[in-house]
Amino acid sequence: SYALTQPPSMSVAPGQTARISCGGNNIGSKSVHWYQQRPGQAPVLVVSDDSDRPSGIPERFSGANSGNTATLTISSVEAGDEADYFCQVWDSHSALFGGGTKLTVL
């Protein structure tokens, strides 16, 4: 079965750039969606279809997808970006999520 792999955690200083990876076999052939989940809250869609930003999501959030890795990039990281981030794809009519990456802002 298809699997998505994310690093469990990463940390970045304010103002720096965070790049969160999501690995999967030939993931570049799939559409990847990214969600932000702050503690105690429901997930929020921040990037859809590899690189589209929903209305209201800052331009600091961007996405790319190629080969075996999709990447969520958060530029000029702020304290409010501290959260769990999940990637998601569809495979054989089933939605699959990565294990999530906890982003800590130093």
User: Max alpha carbon distance in the chain (Å)?
Assistant: 39
**Separation between Cα atoms, residue 78 and residue 81, nearest integer Å:** 5
CA distances from 8 to 36, 56, 83, 102 (A): 14, 27, 12, 6
Does the protein bind another protein through residue 90 (CB under 8 A)?
yes
* Two structure tokens written together for 12: 């970045």
Whole-number minimum distance, CB 42 to another protein, in Å?
4
Indicate which single residue of 18, 24, 83, 100 sits in contact with another protein (rule: CB under 8 A).
Answer: 100
Q: Does 31 bind another protein (CB under 8 A)?
A: yes
Only one of the segments 11-19, 20-28, 48-56, 67-75 lies at the binding site for another protein (rule: CB under 8 A); that segment is: 48-56
Interface ranges with another protein (CB under 8 A)? 31, 33, 35, 41-45, 48-49, 54, 86, 88, 90, 93-100
